[in-house]
Structure 1
Amino acid sequence: MGLFAIGDLHFSFAAPKPMDIFGEQWKEHDKRIIENWKNTVGPEDTVLIPGDISWGMRLADAAADLDVIDGLPGRKVLLPGNHDYWWKSSSRLAGQYPRMTFLKNDTTRWENWFLCGARGWTCPNETAFTAEDEKIYRRELIRLRLSLDCAMRQGAENILVMLHFPPVNENHGPSGFTELFGQYPVREVVYGHLHGESSHSMALEGEREGIRYHLTSSDYLEFRPKRIF
């Protein structure tokens, strides 16, 4: 059984929102994701989706996108991004889509790994870090700690963290997120949010201080799920 990841699907099947206004690489990106997913992921695999899943504003709007994801091969573990306004109640989502896991303030397992996460937020020392950013950033640190503590109560020895936002600023300086990683047995970190060549070039990728980092924005992956394990 493999573990894959792909974020920033930006689906909009109910009310089509062409993404190629952000670049030619986004032309019919939804069809490419679906085709690549079917050619890459098997029914026994698991796919992590770290946020910006649907452009829908309400669950009724996002349902068409979630239905498509639900019908794709593999188990799915989803995390909210900054554009997922439709995500209000994880318990309601779990009831409507029992084959998918909606991660928020808790944990779930893949083999001997515990999967934890939070949406995250812009990190301090960004060029435009406001007082409101500080408030949200602190709240997301609390949510991540809740998730990590949930895993530890179940005996976690290996943790993979999902975030939507990068866990560091553009200079890859330490943050509250990286500090938390060091307090728990975090071995892998998956995140998204970054789009375009200039943002991709600033991504934290590969191993640092014993933790492996993966940027999994769909355009960075050329719209193909990335195998983590």
Structure 2
Amino acid sequence: MRIFALGDPHLSFAANKPMDIFGSKWIDHPAKIKEEWTQTVTRDDWVLIPGDISWAMQLEEAKPDLEFLGALPGKKIMIRGNHDYWWSTISKVRRLLPPDMYAIQNDSIRIGDIAICGTRGWDCPGGYNFSEHDRQVYEREVSRLELSLKNADPQTKERWVMLHYPPTNEKHQESGFIEIMKQYDVSVCIYGHLHGEGHRNALLNERFGIRFQLVACDYLNFRPLLLR
């Protein structure tokens, strides 16, 4: 059993949202995801998907996108991204998920000796475009991360966190997300959201005692990244 991650698939089988408007790298990107995934992941592996799964606006419209991911090898754990407008109540989302596909919201999932926790996240204070409206959402998301970490099985040896947004501002200053992760001894944090020129702002490698990794599809050339 291995654990991989690949975020921001931005699928749109039932929505008219071609990703190639964001550059040639995204041309026919579902085929790229399928090819790289099937060459990398086996049925016994896990894949973490930190949000922006589907461009669908309604829950039923997301079904073909979820079925596409569900048909790929391995078991999948996902969180909500900022573009996942289709994400309704967690109970409705879970009823729609294919077999071996799981969603985290204010809770956690155990994989062996690792507790997988997470929340969407948000822009962090000190960022170039941070506003007072952002503060309200940011503080709520910090609280949700703590709820998820509190839910973690105390028998696990490690806690990993999935966020959709990066856990810091562009200057990589400490944030509430970092403080909570340090408090709960998180060892790994993966995130997506950053695309194109945004890759330059990626928080990578070890900092604050935590290993960070950007796993957005286009950053990884659509190939799931082996974490363990």
TM-score for both structures, normalised by structure 2: 0.97
Q: Report the 3-state secondary structure (helix = DSSP H, G, I; strand = E; otherwise coil) of the residue aligned with 1:116.
A: strand
Distance 1:218 1:191 in 2: 11
Kept in 1: contact 2:50–2:79 (CA 8 A)? yes
Instruction: Look up the match of 1:129.
Output: 130
- Structure 1 residue ranges, 4+ long, deviating more than 6 angstroms after superposition: none
Distance 2:63 2:39 in 1: 24
Question: CA deviation digits over 1:143-167, x for unaligned, max 9?
Answer: 0000000115x33431000000000
Q: Report the 3-state secondary structure (helix = DSSP H, G, I; strand = E; otherwise coil) of the residue aligned with 2:150.
A: helix
Instruction: Map 1:98-117; keep pairs closer than 5 Å.
Output: 98-117=99-118
Distance 1:184 1:68 in 2: 34
Task: Report deviation, 1:50.
Answer: 0.1
Instruction: Map 1:45-124; keep pairs closer than 5 Å.
Output: 45-97=45-97, 98-124=99-125
Q: Report the 3-state secondary structure (helix = DSSP H, G, I; strand = E; otherwise coil) of the residue aligned with 2:182.
A: helix
Instruction: Map 1:28-47; keep pairs closer than 5 Å.
Output: 28-47=28-47
Instruction: Look up the match of 1:219.
Output: 218
Question: CA deviation digits over 1:31-86, x for unaligned, max 9?
Answer: 10011111110000000000000000011111110011111100000100000011
**Unpaired stretches in structure 1, ≥5 consecutive residues:** none
Deviates more, 1:106-115 or 1:90-99: 90-99
* AA aligned opposite 1:18: P
Instruction: Look up the match of 2:227.
Output: 228
Kept in 2: contact 1:7–1:192 (CA 8 A)? yes
Task: Report deviation, 1:89.
Answer: 1.7
Distance 2:62 2:26 in 1: 20
Kept in 2: contact 1:107–1:114 (CA 8 A)? yes
Q: Report the 3-state secondary structure (helix = DSSP H, G, I; strand = E; otherwise coil) of the residue aligned with 1:201.
A: helix
Instruction: Map 1:175-190; keep pairs closer than 5 Å.
Output: 175-190=175-190
Task: Report deviation, 1:99.
Answer: 2.2
State the identity %.
49
**Unpaired stretches in structure 2, ≥5 consecutive residues:** none
Question: CA deviation digits over 1:91-141, x for unaligned, max 9?
Answer: 222223242111010000111000000000000111111111001001101
Q: Report the 3-state secondary structure (helix = DSSP H, G, I; strand = E; otherwise coil) of the residue aligned with 2:142.
A: helix
Q: Report the 3-state secondary structure (helix = DSSP H, G, I; strand = E; otherwise coil) of the residue aligned with 2:102.
A: strand
- Tell me: CA distance 1:209–1:15, structure 2 relative to 1, closer, same or farther (3 Å): closer
Task: Report deviation, 1:227.
Answer: 0.5
Kept in 2: contact 1:168–1:174 (CA 8 A)? yes
Distance 2:157 2:100 in 1: 26
* AA aligned opposite 1:207: E
Kept in 2: contact 1:206–1:212 (CA 8 A)? yes
TM-score for both structures, normalised by structure 1: 0.96
Distance 1:128 1:156 in 2: 38
Instruction: Look up the match of 1:191.
Output: 191
Kept in 2: contact 1:157–1:185 (CA 8 A)? no
Kept in 2: contact 1:203–1:215 (CA 8 A)? yes
Superposition RMSD in Å? 1.1
Q: Report the 3-state secondary structure (helix = DSSP H, G, I; strand = E; otherwise coil) of the residue aligned with 1:214.
A: strand
Task: Report deviation, 1:14.
Answer: 1.2
Task: Report deviation, 1:88.
Answer: 1.0
Q: Report the 3-state secondary structure (helix = DSSP H, G, I; strand = E; otherwise coil) of the residue aligned with 1:104.
A: coil
